[in-house]
Amino acid sequence: VGKKQREFDYFALALQWPGTICASTRHCCAINGCCRSEPLQTFTIHGLWPDYDDGTWPACCRHTSFDMDKILPLKPTLEKYWPSLYCSSSSTCFSGKGPFWAHEWEKHGTCSSPVVKDELEYFTTALDLYFKYNVTEMLASGGIHVSNGKQYALTDVIDAIKCAFGASPQIVCKKGSVEELRLCFDKDLKPLDCLTTTATNENVSKKKYCPRYITLPTYDPI
């Protein structure tokens, strides 16, 4: 970070499972957070991340502060599908505090060139991929219908994604529940196998390993 960065190798679209996150954030009741009137039972966006093939990644690359004016038409869509599920506002690389997605643009989006050239393109690319590859639907088409308390074989979840998406996801867990599911893409935005299917590489702490049977807890607003 800070030095001139070499170009990234591939993208990961990181999606988060609200039921798992909301179970451990003391039910943040921010308007776009865990206490929505409608329970969030679909994956929401964490970020579109440029990564290196060696498992590392660049961050905070170009000093380009988030500018709401550049993406105003997208704001309602971002608030709906890219909610901040943590109570605190997110600290950004360059501009101080902002919404979760402003943090993601500054930390990851600024490292996405030359594939993604600016802020507007970063958000449209992330949203396009999110809508094109609906993970919640891919799971359902593989017979994984999300139901609270139910256990699923990790291999079944991975196979459902492989079958519908054509490449292996990376899955990150928290206390046996799915916290994140990441889809990987090459620079032409075509599906690509993620480096590891589950968080078992040394970059990810042991706490985030997925057991053989996992849950997808549903979140119900209070």
Minimum distance of ligand 5GP from residue 143's CB (angstroms):
28
Question: Among candidates 218, 61, 69, which has minimal Cα distance to 149?
Answer: 218
For the four alpha carbons of 122, 82, 44 and 180, in that order, the dihedral sign comes to positive
Question: Among candidates 197, 138, 148, which has minimal Cα distance to 41?
Answer: 148
Given the complex with ligand 5GP, which of 61 and 144 has the nearer CB atom?
Answer: 61
Within residues 58-97, the interface with ligand 5GP by CB under 6 A covers 84-86, 88, 90-91
Q: What angle do CA 202, 203, 209 make, to 5 degrees?
A: 70
Dist CA 24 CA 75 (whole Å): 27
Dist CA 182 CA 56 (whole Å): 15
The binding track of 5-44 with respect to ligand 5GP, each residue x by CB under 6 A or -, is -------x---x----x-----------------------
Given the complex with ligand 5GP, which of 75 and 145 has the nearer CB atom?
Answer: 75
Task: Count CB neighbours of 172 within 10 A.
Answer: 22
Minimum distance of ligand 5GP from residue 128's CB (angstroms):
19
Minimum distance of ligand 5GP from residue 141's CB (angstroms):
26
The yes or no reply on residue 197 touching ligand 5GP (CB under 6 A) is: no
Catalytic residue among 103, 108, 179, 180: 108
Minimum distance of ligand 5GP from residue 89's CB (angstroms):
7
Dist CA 222 CA 216 (whole Å): 18
User: Annotated catalytic, 108?
Assistant: yes
The yes or no reply on residue 46 touching ligand 5GP (CB under 6 A) is: yes
Minimum distance of ligand 5GP from residue 12's CB (angstroms):
6
Return the CA Rg of the chain. 17
Number of residues engaging ligand 5GP in binding (CB under 6 A):
19
Catalytic residue among 7, 27, 38, 46: 46
Do residues 168 and 192 make contact, with C-beta atoms less than 8 angstroms apart? no
Who contacts 66 (Cβ-Cβ below 8 Å, separation ≥6)?
92, 94, 95, 98, 102, 103, 105, 106, 119
The yes or no reply on residue 49 touching ligand 5GP (CB under 6 A) is: yes
Positions that interact with ligand 5GP (CB under 6 A): 12, 16, 21, 46-47, 49, 51, 57, 84-86, 88, 90-91, 100, 103-104, 107-108
Residues serving a catalytic function are 46, 104, 108
